[in-house]
């Protein structure tokens, strides 16, 4: 039995998705190759609309939207409907010199290159952390405990530190 949407429901949905469109774009950039991002974006919006009747308002719309969008992206990867974002070895290298002089965009590109090497759940957790979600929100979105979020973040940050410093270590 499907719920009939009122004009108010439709308007609310469109407003909320539009207000949080950045979430969709960031997830598409993190989980899909450039040529597949538009398809993933459309699939996420479709899944949000299809799942909208399940949104009860128990959590923030933004948290629910993260959950649906991330699940859509990860299911797409598993079904191989979209190509996994993998940068070439050349794109993944970090220069030996210090970060001084690098633009913020370059630093972010390097960070995302290393994040793309993480497992799906770790990638999701660090993405949500970088989006400034609280540990409680990350736990709600991912379905793991707040304590587990804390432990995983410590481990993820350590993995990223190692990835950043691996080129600087002596051979």
Q: pLDDT tens for the chain, 171 residues: list them.
A: 456 778 888 899 999 999 999 999 999 888 888 888 899 999 999 999 999 988 888 888 999 999 999 999 888 765 554 444 443 333 333 343 444 555 667 777 778 888 888 888 999 999 999 989 999 999 999 999 999 999 999 999 999 888 877 644 554
Buried b (16+ CB within 10 A) or exposed e, 4-41: eeeeeeeeebeebbeebeebbebbbebbbeeebbeebb
pLDDT at 99: 44
Residue 93: give its domain's CATH number.
Answer: 1.10.10
Answer yes or no: do 80 and 95 share one domain.
Answer: no
Report if residue 133 sits inside a domain. Answer: yes
Count up the domains in the chain and report the number. Answer: 2
DSSP 166: G
Q: From 60, 85, 110, give the residue that closes a domain.
A: 85
50, 17 Cβ separation under 8 angstroms: no
Picking from 67, 85, 103, the residue at the C-terminal end of a domain is 85
**One domain, residues 53 and 119:** no
Q: Is the dihedral of CA 110, 116, 119, 121 positive or negative?
A: positive
pLDDT at 2: 52
pLDDT at 98: 43
Considering the domain boundaries, does residue 142 fall inside one?
yes
**pTM given for the model:** 0.68
Residues 119 and 149 in one domain: yes
């Amino acid at each position: 039995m499907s719920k009939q949407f009122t004009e108010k429901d439709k308007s609310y949905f469109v407003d909320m998705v539009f207000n949080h469109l950045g979430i969709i774009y960031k997830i598409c950039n993190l989980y899909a190759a450039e040529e597949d991002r538009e398809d993933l974006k459309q699939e996420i919006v479709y899944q949000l609309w299809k799942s909208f009747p399940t949104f009860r308002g128990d959590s923030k719309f933004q948290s629910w939207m993260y959950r649906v969008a991330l699940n859509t992206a990860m299911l797409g990867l598993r079904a191989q409907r979209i190509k996994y974002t993998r940068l070439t070895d050349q794109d993944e290298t970090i220069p030996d010199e210090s970060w001084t002089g690098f633009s913020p965009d370059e630093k972010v590109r390097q960070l995302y290159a290393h994040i793309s090497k993480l497992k799906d759940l770790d990638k999701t957790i660090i993405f949500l952390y970088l989006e400034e979600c609280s540990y409680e929100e990350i736990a709600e979105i991912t379905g793991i405990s707040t304590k587990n979020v804390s432990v995983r973040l410590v481990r993820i940050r350590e993995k990223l530190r190692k990835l950043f410093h691996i080129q600087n270590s002596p051979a």
